[in-house]
Amino acid sequence: MDKTFHSSNGKYVNHVSNNNEKIERQILRENSKQKDEENISTRTLKIIRNQLLNNDLSNIMHNNVTLVRKTIIDKKRKQYPIYPTSLNETYSN
């Protein structure tokens, strides 16, 4: 992993530069989220598999696929209302 140092107000801050794995993971994440918005009824893993087959993403590891899947599922959950946690919340809403 390449590290670069940027001077900010006389202090050195350690930043990790974007490597190919990180960029490919971001491409997979954004493309998958976009396809998920277009095809709501399609399963999440099917969308990810299609993106992996269609794009030449060679540095993607299993852990990255798991993170992308979690991101898509979290995005889907935001579309639905929050369930009440108590009986009082149920009657007040």
pLDDT tens digits, 42-62:
898 899 889 888 888 777 888
* Rounded distance between C-alpha atoms, residue 14 and residue 7, angstroms: 9
- Are 72 and 44 in contact, with CB atoms under 8 Å apart? yes
CB-based contacts of 66: which residues, under 8 Å, 6+ apart? none
**Overall pTM surpassing 0.75 (yes/no):** no
Distances (CA, A) of 87 to 36, 65, 93: 34, 38, 10
**Does pLDDT of 10 surpass 70?**
no
- Report the phi/psi class of residue 10: left, alpha or beta, with left for phi > 0 and alpha for psi in -120 to 50: left
